[in-house]
Amino acid sequence: MFIYCDLAALVLVLTFYRQAHAGKIIGGHEAAPHSRPYMALLTCRADNGSETYCGGVLVSEYFVITAAHCKAKSYELSTKAIFDKNVQPIVLADMCDNKLPKKCVVSGWGATSDDNKNMSNELREVNVTLTHGDFCTEKNEYCSKGEDGPAEGDSGGPLVCEDGKAFGVISAKSLTFKLTKYAKIPYYREWIDEIMKHN
């Protein structure tokens, strides 16, 4: 069964009309230091003092895309990101990139196995292959299949494919079908640009 989650952004609210809890990187390996300068780790504090963590992706000085279930109190970054060799925004895929990418990678700090609920101290990444199938028929989504990939904990992290562009955002995981769904950035690109321009 699928658990869905609306995607949102800090400042930029991306609602993909779904709910998901997806996220620990299963399989894969530790990412090389500073090789993913667009990755963000978000700490979300609830009113009762509890904390949850989410992945995110830096898209400009003011915008980080993440999952809405993180329930951030504020959608404004407290200060703008300062770019240097270790902090860089990622380029978003657009409608010209609407074909199915061949090689992709997802990354995050989530737990590394289904029976381990602790966060990883290192950023991990894993290659995924996108696929079509009976459970991946929506125009606004990509899917990958297999044991390795994101699951609970890395929601909002990017699906990075050809040319190093962000093609999607982790949005749902089916343990039954070993299928991960990603909101398709090219499908929403025009809307994303409009929101960023007006904020």
CB distance 96 to 163 below 8 Å: no
- Letter string b/e over residues 21-51, b meaning 16 or more CB atoms within 10 A of that residue's CB: bbbbbbebeebeeeebebbbebebeeeeeee
Q: What is the pLDDT of residues 72-104, one digit of tens each?
A: 555 577 788 999 999 999 999 998 887 888 889
Most confidently predicted of 2-6, 22-26, 64-68, 186-190:
186-190
Six-digit token string for 165:
């562009």
CATH topology for 4-198 is Thrombin, subunit H (2.40.10)
Six-digit token string for 133:
């199938």
Q: What percent of the chain has pLDDT over 70?
A: 77
**What pLDDT, on a 0 to 100 scale, did the predictor assign at position 148?**
83
Q: What is the pLDDT of residues 107-119, one digit of tens each?
A: 988 766 656 567 7
pTM over 0.95? The answer is: no
Most confidently predicted of 31-35, 36-40, 131-135:
36-40
**What pLDDT, on a 0 to 100 scale, did the predictor assign at position 115?**
60
What number of other Cβ atoms are within 10 A of residue 182's Cβ? 31
Q: Where are the domains of the chain?
A: 4-198
CB distance 103 to 142 below 8 Å: no
Q: Is the pLDDT of residue 69 over 80?
A: no
Pairwise CA distance, residues 153 & 54, whole Å: 6
Please name which of 154, 149, 158 lies closest in space to residue 178, comparing C-alpha atoms. 149
